Amino acid sequence: MEEQDIARKAYTDLFGEDCNYSFRTVYTGRLKDYGAYVSLSGGLMEFKMSRKWYSISPEIQMGLMQELILKLLKKKKHSMYIDLYNTFVQNLHIAIPKDKNDPQLESSFNRVNERYFLGLVERPNLMWGQFATRTFGSYDFKNDTITISRVFKDMEDTNYLDYIMFHETLHKRRKFFKSGNKTYYHDARFKRLEKVFEGGEQIEKELGRAVAREKAKAYYRNKKDKAGQLKRKVFDWF
């Protein structure tokens, strides 16, 4: 089936044969693994999709396209293709290589996994992200990667890192919950399970102050480093 035919069939399966759009599908290496988006210009509905999708079955691609179409047009519908797509995404982690790791993050993951998940969660890819002070961590189920803000890297108290690791591991374990067209990542059950972390409420209260301290330390370290670089430049000049 041609790519444009997949897109057209995805649309007509939702809304019937009366279609006023033309379709174009582009597979690109510029998107993250299994990333995709749709845009509408005039009567052209264009899908940009990661190259990873090219070899995936047309039925699963149709489910992805249908989800994108419904978000674009702000419509509420459901189909078996959307179910196929969601099942595929929830099981992507099985085939994804686990080739990104960090000893400090792995130690945190192992502590959390043994204590709260009975050691049953397969280790995902583990990465340090930017020195972010608002978004502390994320789990990307399309590449099975937990990313943790670098703000936790030099914290002496590992409970803060473990708390964020627990939250993201819980996302890996539960993935997401679908209800109609809505996708829930922090549903009521997730919030109940999150409270299992020992001392979590106290950590949540202290987290902002702990991050602010690390931010201040980083500021003064950078300031000191810049002063040292300037001094070296002056000496080099002489």
pLDDT at 233: 53
Tell me, yes or no, whether 25 and 46 share the same domain: yes
pLDDT at 55: 93
User: How far is CA 145 from its chain centroid?
Assistant: 7
Tell me, yes or no, whether 123 and 53 share the same domain: no
Separation of alpha carbons 131 and 174, rounded Å: 27
pLDDT at 4: 72
Tell me, yes or no, whether 20 and 44 share the same domain: yes
Tell me, yes or no, whether 167 and 188 share the same domain: yes
Domain residues for 10? Answer: 3-90
Question: Is residue 228 domain-resident?
Answer: no
Question: Is residue 111 domain-resident?
Answer: yes
Closest CA to 11 of 95, 96, 77, 83: 77
Question: Is residue 127 domain-resident?
Answer: yes
Which residues are CB-neighbours of 153 under 8 A, at least 6 positions away? Answer: 104, 128
Tell me, yes or no, whether 168 and 134 share the same domain: yes
pLDDT category of residue 203 using cuts at 50, 70 and 90: very high
Query: pLDDT tens-digit profile of 69-95?
Result: 999 999 999 999 999 999 999 898 888
Please name every residue paired with 45 in a beta bridge, in sequence order, or none if there are none: 23, 40
Question: Is residue 232 domain-resident?
Answer: no
Tell me, yes or no, whether 11 and 83 share the same domain: yes
Question: Is residue 37 domain-resident?
Answer: yes
Tell me, yes or no, whether 67 and 112 share the same domain: no
Say which CATH number the domain at 148 has: 3.30.2010.10
| Phi and psi based region of residue 118 (left: phi greater than 0; alpha: psi -120 to 50; beta: remaining) | left
Judge whether residue 62 has pLDDT over 90.
yes
Separation of alpha carbons 55 and 51, rounded Å: 8
Judge whether residue 236 has pLDDT over 70.
no
Query: pLDDT tens-digit profile of 97-112?
Result: 999 999 999 999 999 9
pLDDT at 105: 98
Query: pLDDT tens-digit profile of 5-57?
Result: 999 999 999 998 788 899 999 999 999 889 999 999 999 999 999 999 999 99
pLDDT category of residue 136 using cuts at 50, 70 and 90: very high
pLDDT at 234: 47
Judge whether residue 237 has pLDDT over 70.
no
Among candidate residues 67, 90, 113, the one where a domain is terminated:
90
Query: pLDDT tens-digit profile of 148-198?
Result: 999 999 999 999 999 999 999 999 998 887 766 677 788 888 999 999 999
Judge whether residue 230 has pLDDT over 60.
no
Please answer whether residues 202 and 162 qualify as being in contact, where contact means their C-beta atoms are separated by less than 8 angstroms: no
Tell me, yes or no, whether 83 and 164 share the same domain: no
Tell me, yes or no, whether 76 and 124 share the same domain: no
Question: Is residue 98 domain-resident?
Answer: no
Total domains present in the chain:
2
Question: Is residue 238 domain-resident?
Answer: no
Tell me, yes or no, whether 22 and 111 share the same domain: no
Say which CATH number the domain at 32 has: 3.30.2010
With helix as H, strand as E and coil as C, how does the chain read? Answer: CCHHHHHHHHHHHHHCCCCCCEEEEEEECCCCCCCEEEEEECCEEEEEEEHHHCCCCHHHHHHHHHHHHHHHHCCCCCCHHHHHHHHHHHCHHHCCCCCCCCHHHHHHHHHHHHHHCCCCCCCCEEEECCCCCCCCEEEECCCCEEEECHHHCCCCCHHHHHHHHHHHHHHHHHCCEEECCEEECCCHHHHHHHCCCCCHHHHHHHHHHHHHHHHHHHHHHHHHHHHHHHHHHHHHHC
Judge whether residue 132 has pLDDT over 60.
yes
Question: Is residue 48 domain-resident?
Answer: yes
pLDDT at 187: 85
